[in-house]
């Protein structure tokens, strides 16, 4: 323990990956006493958007699968190299994940499927010269010229771009929409340029042994428990107080617990790390017989951000992100079955064993539906005679091709019925349904809120100018060159926050400059002409 921190406390608002990572950095790199670190989370479970829960009787649920990537998760891998595995003595979580991934390589054989059930040849990206020129121009355009622009604005004169194999694959891999921010699309193109040449196989997806909650969050929680970190404060934080003056100094944290209001007073030198936006806020679950529904009001994290941004300059602007649930939602669904009848049928159809195929996208689906079949078991408590997979649809307000209702109004059973028709398994629907334990839909109104068009100033700096003890850690902060909607973004934000506030003179892993690697660029160029 560093004695200068003996009487100082650190408070993390939110119990997601960024907060857990920040706590690890405080302990590992600053010798901050674990007992003085407090994680304030209003939900009964940690992990934020990294989740996985359920059982064989009621069904399992993954609200989403956070894609991992070996090449671009620089700080996350470094962090996990110091977190011990829960299952293998002497092995780190990093070693555990990479060993599993290398033993289960990805090579999707059925990336895009048409309305006739035909697996499409996607070796060609489908570009014409106008598409190539528009992409090339975007790659060299400074970000400062892209404020508030949508992807559709850039390609307004080249609408063919949105009919290419590339767009269908890139869109569904990363969950972009035509109306998403051009900023973020450009950053993904820069950061993931090496994936351009293998987007049709998704070989770049890094697998974890189980869902990310059990593979990443639980080992981090165990590490922090061992260091004495305080997880007892089941608080929903509602506001922050600041010291008067130009500087940004948090003096109190307001919270609600079981309907009662309370305040935590911060002493001089205490630290406050805030998750200023959560993409899975307001998520709602359904089941086999019940639609999930959509809770479109402002999320609690967005309300908190709006309150503090109104008090101090430099804390960003949540309005572009949390103002239009119709543009920021999509719906996932998790299917739990007894036995492997359905998984075997999908395996035969796709020519991919569970865990080897990544996304299968039904490009003519009105919902733009995709499914992912992970290696089994995907949960530690998943019995050998139980199988699961999950999927999602990006256009939840549109009527299904077969089930004539919008996805958001469908029960889990109806969503599965729609999927089985797209797979052309209609003749076996009754036999398949006999094996189904549950289909749990999850509507997430703000799941891609971080992709909304914005000005550069709308996202705050991790440590805002003038801050003495406040840092913002989320998918809604500004980190130059990096891409949101990734695990790496949360971890990098946490590392920047801790090192900056505590004056740590240690290196933060930089964004790997693949866009300057001539070999990567030549591969991408060659792929664009296929």
Looking at 5, 11, 25, 188, which residue is catalytic? 188
Secondary structure letter of residue 87 according to DSSP = S
- In whole angstroms, give the CA distance from residue 46 to residue 270: 23
Secondary structure letter of residue 469 according to DSSP = S
E strand residue ranges, 188-329: 205-206, 236-242, 250-257, 260-265, 271-274, 284-285
- In whole angstroms, give the CA distance from residue 493 to residue 483: 11
73 as an active site residue: the answer is no
Handedness of CA 471, 489, 11, 43 (dihedral sign): positive
Q: Is residue 493 within 8 Å of residue 462, measured between CB atoms? A: yes
Query: Which tokens is 2 given?
Result: 């560093």
- 366: number of CA atoms within 13 Å, CB side? 16
Query: Which tokens is 130 given?
Result: 């106008």
Which residues 6+ apart lie within 8 Å of 27 measured at CB? 34, 37, 224, 227, 229
Peptide bond into 377 cis (omega under 30): yes
- In whole angstroms, give the CA distance from residue 529 to residue 290: 47
Cα 457 to chain centroid, rounded: 22
Over the Cα atoms of the chain, what is R_g?
23
Q: Is residue 12 within 8 Å of residue 23, measured between CB atoms? A: yes
Spell out the SS3 assignment of 179-210. Answer: CCEHHHHHHHHHHCHHHHHHCCCCCCEECCCC
- 279: number of CA atoms within 13 Å, CB side? 29
Burial degree of 143 (CB within 10 A; 0-12, 13-18, 19+): middle
Secondary structure letter of residue 250 according to DSSP = E
Query: Which tokens is 159 given?
Result: 């609408």
Q: Is residue 222 within 8 Å of residue 93, measured between CB atoms? A: no
Mark 366-377 as b/e (b = at least 16 C-beta within 10 Å).
bbbbbbbbbbbb
- In whole angstroms, give the CA distance from residue 335 to residue 387: 8
- The residues annotated with a catalytic role in the active site are 188
């Amino acid at each position: 323990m560093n004695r200068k921190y003996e009487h100082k406390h650190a408070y993390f608002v939110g119990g997601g990956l960024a907060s857990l990572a920040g706590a690890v950095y405080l302990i590992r790199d600053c010798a901050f006493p674990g007992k003085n670190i407090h994680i304030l989370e209003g939900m009964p479970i940690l992990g934020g958007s990294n989740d996985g829960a359920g059982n064989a009787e009621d069904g399992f649920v993954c609200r989403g699968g956070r894609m991992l990537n070996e090449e671009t998760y620089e700080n996350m891998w470094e962090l996990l190299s110091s977190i011990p595995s829960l299952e293998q003595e002497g092995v780190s979580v990093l070693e555990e994940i990479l060993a599993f991934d290398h033993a289960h390589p990805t090579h999707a054989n059925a990336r895009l499927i048409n309305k006739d059930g035909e697996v499409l040849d996607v070796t060609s990206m489908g570009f014409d010269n106008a598409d190539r020129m528009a992409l090339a121009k975007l790659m060299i355009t400074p970000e400062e010229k892209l404020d508030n622009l949508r992807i559709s604005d850039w390609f307004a004169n080249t609408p063919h771009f949105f009919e290419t194999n590339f767009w269908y694959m890139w869109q569904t891999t990363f969950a972009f929409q035509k109306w998403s921010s051009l900023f973020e699309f450009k950053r993904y193109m820069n950061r993931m340029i090496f994936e351009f040449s293998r987007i049709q196989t998704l070989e770049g997806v890094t697998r974890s042994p189980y869902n990310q909650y059990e593979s990443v969050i639980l080992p981090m929680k165990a590490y922090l428990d061992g260091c004495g970190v305080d997880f007892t404060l089941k608080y929903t934080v509602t506001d922050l107080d600041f010291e008067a003056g130009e500087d940004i100094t948090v003096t109190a944290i307001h919270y609600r617990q079981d309907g009662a209001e309370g305040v935590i007073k911060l002493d001089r030198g205490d630290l406050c790390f805030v998750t200023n936006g959560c993409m899975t806020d307001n998520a709602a679950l359904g089941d086999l017989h019940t639609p999930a529904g959509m809770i479109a009001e402002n999320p609690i994290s967005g309300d908190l951000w709006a309150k503090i941004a109104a008090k101090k300059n430099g804390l960003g602007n949540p309005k572009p992100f949390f103002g239009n649930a119709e543009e920021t939602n999509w719906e996932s669904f998790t299917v739990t079955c007894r036995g492997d009848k359905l998984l075997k049928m999908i395996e035969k159809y796709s020519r991919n064993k569970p865990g080897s195929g990544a996304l299968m996208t039904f490009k003519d689906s009105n919902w733009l539906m995709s499914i992912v079949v992970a290696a089994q078991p995907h949960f530690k408590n998943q019995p050998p005679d139980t199988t699961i997979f999950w999927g999602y649809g990006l256009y939840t307000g549109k009527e299904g091709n077969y089930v004539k209702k919008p996805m958001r109004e469908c029960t889990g059973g109806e969503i599965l019925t729609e999927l089985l028709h797209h797979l052309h398994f209609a003749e076996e629907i009754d036999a398949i349904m006999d094996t189904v334990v549950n289909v749990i839909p999850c509507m997430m109104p703000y799941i891609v809120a971080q992709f909304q068009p914005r000005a550069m100033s709308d996202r705050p700096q991790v440590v805002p100018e003038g801050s003495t003890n406040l840092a913002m850690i989320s998918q809604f902060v500004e980190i130059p060159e990096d891409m949101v909607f990734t695990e790496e973004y949360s971890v990098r934000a946490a590392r920047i926050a801790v090192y900056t506030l505590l004056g740590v003179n240690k290196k933060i892993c930089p964004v790997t400059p693949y866009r300057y690697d001539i070999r990567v660029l030549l591969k991408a160029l060659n792929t664009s002409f296929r």
